Structure 1
Amino acid sequence: MAGRPTALVTGASSGLGTEFAEQLAGQGYDVVLVARDEARLRAVADRLGERGAHAEVLVADLADPTARARVERRLAEPAEGEAPVDLLVNNAGYGTAGEFTETDPAVLAANHEVNVSSVMLLCRAALPGMVERGRGGVINVSSVSGFLPGRGSVYGAGKAYVTALSQNLYMSVYGTGVHVMALCPGYTKTDFHRRLGQSRKDAGFMWLEADRVVADGLADFARRRPLSIPGVGYKAIVVAARHAPTRIVQVLARRSASGRG
């Protein structure tokens, strides 16, 4: 009898990452939880363990290449007794407040390491083994902001890369039994915007529940869709961004807040 599949979730200590871990455990996955905060990871692992899922804690700051290499090894070369990863959820990511020209270059570089470099390198570590086994997949958590021109930090530009990379990888592994999808939420009720000092009163009717975002994403992944955009309003925004004249898209972007969504 085959064992339980294994999912590795980055940014698993809070927000969408915790929600992914909980819903995947509910679907029969064991999970590898990756984040910087060991105490919060262990609290998540304990909750999942009470529900019968095995939860492995892997503490790593993805802005640190040395720490990230431990996660790459876990994906590419599982040690004896470790199950290969069947699903990688690249969820870790964050925004930076302030204008690009006023932000410390080291802050921008660290953001790029987590939001861009880590996504690419963890995909590279995971996919060869999945293709060889003929099964598996990757969900890269991107953002609606990647479809809109923005100002401020490099967040939106990084998410545009994540979405484009995911579409390329979807084509690269098509027909192998492996699937890659970009999940592009808008405003979602997590700590993400609070850390940027953004209020939920802004665009209040557009806020999405984290459990709904993850459930919709997993449903679209099961349908083998290359792109998942939860929420009718955000689907409309993406259609407008793709097909409306550039001038209109720029006006729309100027009226939206920075960050995820």
Structure 2
Amino acid sequence: MLPYALVTGASAGLGTLFAEALAAEGRPLVIVARRRDRLDAIAADLRSRFGTQVLPIALDLAAADAPEMLFAQLEQQGIVIDTLINNAGFGARGAFAELDLTMQSEMVDLNCRTLMALCHRALPAMIAQKNGAILNLASVAGFLPGPYMSTYYATKAFVLSLSQALHEEVKDRGVRVSALCPGPTDTEFAAVAGLTNSRLFQMNVSTAKDVVRDGMAALRDNKAVAVAGLSNKLMVAGLRFIPRGLARGMAARLQKGRG
């Protein structure tokens, strides 16, 4: 059996487009998200257009036992994962003290703990085969503190740090690990997070197709960190020369202000 690619958060936005890009390469797929109806429709569409195998699994990945349940199901079906796209995640905009704590805790669970656990489950088989790839969705938010999206920015700093460390650990063992760092992107994520009326979002919006293109290139080239989009690359490069206090203040004004 051919190894499968696993895409999380595949029912919309970047996740759907990553699944499409992999299907176009003829890769068998496992696509995971909470919304069964959306997953089934996407799976049927990919099978029809690309003639590849697509297994949809409806699962709330924020649940503590979700990574173990997912890999147990894959093992029962004899499916080996050699490509993992850790795309599932969400954000929320607002003052930390005013945002619901349960929701913020679920954000940490999904954006950090689940991503870490999926990497931990997938890597041993990749290392044993001396072949594999993991793309973790970080963000330019991971490069600085983010007042008024403080927990989200912190989760992406975790993803960025973990991904770079894993890249270094496995780069000589046939496994590629990359952190993809997009900026504001025109997807469903922005509306859910309450970003569409922030000045930061309105200033610099990328298309989802461009971000996925950059992510697939990052995996091919085994880049530890890939910042998507020229303006985002310039912004991240510029952060090296801006005092942290000034960067925090700028982020706070842009996130808090409304267009």
Please report how far the alpha carbon of residue 247 of structure 1 lies from its aligned counterpart in structure 2 after TM superposition: 3.0
Cα pair 1:240 1:249 within 8 Å, conserved: no
Give deviations 1:122-161, integer Å, cap 9, x for gaps. Answer: 0000001100011001000011111121123410000000
Which position in structure 1 is the counterpart of 2:81? 85
Please report how far the alpha carbon of residue 70 of structure 1 lies from its aligned counterpart in structure 2 after TM superposition: 1.4
SS at match of 2:112: helix
Give deviations 1:155-200, integer Å, cap 9, x for gaps. Answer: 0000000000000000111200001000000011101111233326
Tell me which amino acid in the other structure corresponds to 1:243: F
Unaligned runs of 5+ in 2: none
Which position in structure 1 is the counterpart of 2:146? 150
Deviates more, 1:121-130 or 1:195-204: 195-204
Please report how far the alpha carbon of residue 74 of structure 1 lies from its aligned counterpart in structure 2 after TM superposition: 4.9
Map 1:164-179; keep pairs closer than 5 Å.
164-179=161-176
Tell me which amino acid in the other structure corresponds to 1:226: A
Tell me which amino acid in the other structure corresponds to 1:118: T
1:56 is the counterpart of 2:52: no
Which position in structure 2 is the counterpart of 1:35? 33
TM-score, normalised via structure 2 length: 0.91
Cα distance change on mapping 1:257 and 1:30 into 2, 3 Å? farther
Which position in structure 2 is the counterpart of 1:180? 177
Cα distance change on mapping 1:215 and 1:191 into 2, 3 Å? same
SS at match of 2:97: helix
Q: CA–CA distance in 1 between the matches of 2:105 and 2:203?
A: 34
Give deviations 1:22-74, integer Å, cap 9, x for gaps. Answer: 01111121110100000000011001110201110111101112333212435
Percent identical among aligned pairs is 38
Which position in structure 2 is the counterpart of 1:119? 115
Map 1:1-261; keep pairs closer than 5 Å.
4-50=2-48, 51-74=50-73, 78-80=75-77, 82-153=78-149, 154-199=151-196, 202=199, 203-204=201-202, 206-257=204-255
Cα pair 2:134 2:219 within 8 Å, conserved: no
Q: CA–CA distance in 2 between the matches of 1:209 and 1:251?
A: 27
SS at match of 1:175: coil
Q: CA–CA distance in 2 between the matches of 1:167 and 1:65?
A: 24
Please report how far the alpha carbon of residue 5 of structure 1 lies from its aligned counterpart in structure 2 after TM superposition: 4.0
Unaligned runs of 5+ in 1: none
Please report how far the alpha carbon of residue 231 of structure 1 lies from its aligned counterpart in structure 2 after TM superposition: 0.7
Please report how far the alpha carbon of residue 251 of structure 1 lies from its aligned counterpart in structure 2 after TM superposition: 3.2
Tell me which amino acid in the other structure corresponds to 1:164: S
- Backbone CA RMSD of aligned residues: 1.8
TM-score, normalised via structure 1 length: 0.91
Tell me which amino acid in the other structure corresponds to 2:246: I
